[in-house]
A and B are shown apart, each in its own frame.
Chain A
C-alpha cells in the first residue's frame, strides 16, 4: 500500500469506515470460501458426471436466461418510459415494479401458481395452447420472471436516465427517426447498465428456489436438487452440487463483467 501513511493522517475517518465495513465483506467471503476448502473434491468431480446434476444445472441456466430474455423484451420499453416520462403515478408504478423484491419468495410462488393454475383463466389458456404451467419448464420460467423483473427494469431505467435526452434530440434534428436514434444512440450509451441489469436478472433466476419449488418441484433446477439432496442424504451430498452451482454463477458473472467493462467509451453526455 503506497502512500498509506499520508492517507492515514488525512483520512483517518475513512480507515474507520473501512474497518467497520470489512466485517460484511468477510461475512460474504468466509462461508463461501469455507465451502470450497471443506468440500470433498472427489465427490464434486464424480457428481459432475451425474446426468441428474448436470441436467439440473443446465436447466437453471437456460430457464433463467429465457426468463431474462422475456423481461428484456418487455422491460426495456418500460424502463425507457420510466426514465423519460414524468407523470403523476410514476412513484406508484416504480413501487409496483419493486414489489417482487419485498414479497417472500414462497409467497411469490403461490401467487404465480394461483394465477397460472389450470383453473385460472391465464392457466386455462396456456393449457388450451398445449402448454402446462405446473411442474414444467414453463412454470420455472414464470416463477423466475416474477422475481427477476425489478432487477432488470431498475437497472435499465437508471441506465437510460444516464443518457442525456439532448443527445436524442440533436440526432432527431439531424434527420434520424426515433427507432434509429434509439438503436444507434440510446442503446449503445446505456449498454453497460443494461448488461448489468441482464446479469442481475439472470443471476436472480439461477438462484431462485422458493418461488420455483412451489410451482415446479419437478423438473428440478439446481437449487431444488441441492435442497432435495440435503433433505434426503444430508450436507455431504448437497455440498458438491452447491460448489458447482457457485462455480457456474461466478464464471458467468466474471465473464460478462469483463466483456462489458472491456469497452469504457460510454457514460452519457451530461
Chain B
C-alpha cells in the first residue's frame, strides 16, 4: 500500500536518510523511536506536507512523490487532534466530504455509530475531552475514505483511562480493512496493536520486521535498548557456549556461529527460585542489589559474579522467594531466552 524507496528527508538539524520500507494493504504498521527522531516529519512527508530531499513515495502502486497532499488520499491525524475550532463536531467530520466526487452519506453515519459520536455532533471541539477529540479526529480522517491513515502518537497524550478505549477503536478500524501507519515512542503500544514495526533511532532505520521478532531479536544495541532488552553482554561464542567477560559461561539454544558478539536477555525472561525448572541450564547464585517498582511489576537487579542482571518480576514471586536488597537467591534463565546478535561488532 505504501512504499518508500530510498527516501531522504532533511530536518535541518539532522537527516532521515535513505529510507526504504513498505506497508501492506490492511496492515497495522508501527513506526517507533525515541521522541525527536523525526517520526512526525516522516508522516508529513508521506502525506505530502513536506518535500523529501530524495527518493520516491508510492501509495497503492502510484508514484505520489510530486503530488500535493489533497490528491494523495492519505489522511493524517495529529497528536493534538487539530480539530477546527470554529466548527462543530459534525462540521469537522463532514469537512472533507465536499471534495469527494461521490460522497457516501451512509458511510459518515456509520462512523458516528462506530466511534460513538452521535451525542457530540452539535458540540464545539473545545468542550470535548481528549479521548472524544481524538475520536472526532479519527472520524474526520476516515470520512473521506482514505487509502491509508497516518496516526501521530494518537494514544500517548490521552488520559490513561481513555487509552485502552482508543486502542480498541483503532484495532476495530484496522480489522474492517483500513491500512494504518502509526508512530509512537512507546513500545507497549507497538506490542498491543502492531503487526509489523519499523524502529528509527538517530535518524536511521534500525530494523523493520514482525513485532514479536523485533521484541525478542533486536538487530542491534540501539534497538535492544529501545525495546527494553536490558541485559546486554559482550561475549565470545563457541558452539553452544557463550563466555562472558569475567568468566561466566552460558549455555545457548542450539549451535551458534563462532566469534565475538553481543548477547541479550529480556528482563521478563529472568527467573528466580521456584520458577526455575530442574533442567534450566543457566542457573546462578545472585545477590539482590536493588528492587524498584515499575508499574505492576518490579525491576530487580542481581549481582552474579561480575555481571549485573536485571529481571522484571511480580510482587508475588518476590514475596514467595523472600527477595530483599542484600539477600541471596537462585537466579537464571533458559537457553532459548538468550538472543545472539548478528552483527560482528559487540559494542
* CB of B237 within 8 Å of the partner chain: no
Q: Decide yes or no: A164 and B70 within 8 Å by CB, A171-B95, A173-B48, A175-B144 being known contacts.
A: no
Size band of the interface chain A makes with B: 20 to 34
Give the CA-CA distance A174 to B97 in the complex, in Å. Answer: 8
In the complex, chain B residues whose CB is within 8 Å of the CB of A189:
84-86
Instruction: Contact check, A266 vs B70: say whether CB atoms are below 8 A apart.
Output: no
- 1/0 per residue, CB under 8 A from B, across A182-202: the answer is 000100110000000000000
Residue of A nearest to B74 (CB): A173
In the complex, chain A residues whose CB is within 8 Å of the CB of B125:
269
Instruction: Contact check, A169 vs B95: say whether CB atoms are below 8 A apart.
Output: no
In the complex, chain A residues whose CB is within 8 Å of the CB of B80:
164, 166, 269
* CB of A110 within 8 Å of the partner chain: no
Q: Of the candidates A166, A169, A173, which one forms a contact with B72 in the assembled complex, judged by CB atoms under 8 Å apart?
A: A173
Instruction: Contact check, B82 vs A176: say whether CB atoms are below 8 A apart.
Output: no
- 1/0 per residue, CB under 8 A from B, across A30-52: the answer is 00000000000000000000000
In the complex, chain B residues whose CB is within 8 Å of the CB of A169:
44, 47, 49, 69, 76, 78, 82
Give the CA-CA distance A178 to B71 in the complex, in Å. Answer: 12
* CB of B75 within 8 Å of the partner chain: yes
Instruction: Contact check, B70 vs A173: say whether CB atoms are below 8 A apart.
Output: yes
* CB of B83 within 8 Å of the partner chain: yes
In the complex, chain A residues whose CB is within 8 Å of the CB of B300:
none
Instruction: Contact check, A175 vs B99: say whether CB atoms are below 8 A apart.
Output: yes
* CB of B100 within 8 Å of the partner chain: yes
In the complex, chain A residues whose CB is within 8 Å of the CB of B83:
269
Give the CA-CA distance A135 to B43 in the complex, in Å. Answer: 59
Interface centre among B68, B86, B125, B144 (most CB of A within 10 A): B86
Instruction: Contact check, A174 vs B141: say whether CB atoms are below 8 A apart.
Output: yes
Q: Decide yes or no: A167 and B84 within 8 Å by CB, A174-B75, A174-B95 being known contacts.
A: yes
Q: Decide yes or no: A269 and B84 within 8 Å by CB, A169-B47, A173-B48, A173-B49 being known contacts.
A: yes
Instruction: Contact check, B76 vs A188: say whether CB atoms are below 8 A apart.
Output: no
CB contact list, B48-85 vs A, under 8 A: 48-49, 68-70, 72, 74-78, 80-85
Instruction: Contact check, B82 vs A269: say whether CB atoms are below 8 A apart.
Output: yes
Q: Decide yes or no: A173 and B75 within 8 Å by CB, A166-B80, A265-B124, A269-B80 being known contacts.
A: yes
- 1/0 per residue, CB under 8 A from B, across A128-172: the answer is 000000000000000000000000000000000000101101111
- Chain A residues near B (Cβ < 8 Å): 164, 166-167, 169-178, 185, 188-189, 265-269
Q: Which 9 A-B pairs have the closest CB atoms?
A: A175-B99, A174-B96, A172-B69, A166-B82, A173-B76, A170-B82, A175-B70, A173-B69, A169-B49
- 10 new A-B pairs (CB below 8 Å) besides A169-B78, A176-B99? A164-B82, A166-B80, A169-B47, A170-B82, A173-B70, A174-B99, A174-B143, A175-B70, A269-B81, A269-B85
